[in-house]
């Protein structure tokens, strides 16, 4: 069993910055997706920041990044900085998601103005 979501992702997808641990477990993407689906926001953000410290790099597939941000925003919808971070990720890996990214920025702006 992996000790964290980050470790599980590192074993499955690799890491540009650290060696991949030799854990001896069978790595099936569906188990990672299950763990990601029920992970808390802090664990998801820790994974994103460890494996993709710069938005333009990292070995996590784009769909994993998008799903990760979506899951975090469902749990923490009222954080402007997080909305902007998710929007930046979408813009870098778009253009299919440019409209969604723009909506996230509008939500962040509205939250800041209301706050």
Report the candidate in 28, 26, 32 with the shortest Cα–Cα distance to residue 5. 32
- DSSP letters, 43-110, are HHHHHHHHH-SSTT--SS-HHHHHHHHHHHHHHSTT-HHHHHHHHHHHHHT-STTHHHHHHHHHHHHH
Q: pLDDT per residue over 12-61, tens digit each? A: 998 888 877 778 877 889 999 999 999 999 999 999 999 998 878 889 99
Q: Is the pTM for the entire model greater than 0.85? A: yes
């Amino acid at each position: 069993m992996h000790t964290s979501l980050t470790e599980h992702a590192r074993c499955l997808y690799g890491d540009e910055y650290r060696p991949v641990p030799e854990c001896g477990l069978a790595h099936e993407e569906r188990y990672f997706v299950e763990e990601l689906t029920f992970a808390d926001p802090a664990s998801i953000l820790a994974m994103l920041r460890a494996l993709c410290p710069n938005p333009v790099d990292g070995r996590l597939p784009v769909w994993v990044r998008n799903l990760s941000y979506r899951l975090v925003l469902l749990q923490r919808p009222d954080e402007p900085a997080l909305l902007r971070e998710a929007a930046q990720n979408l813009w870098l890996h778009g253009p299919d998601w440019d409209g969604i990214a723009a909506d996230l920025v509008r939500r962040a702006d509205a939250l800041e103005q209301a706050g």
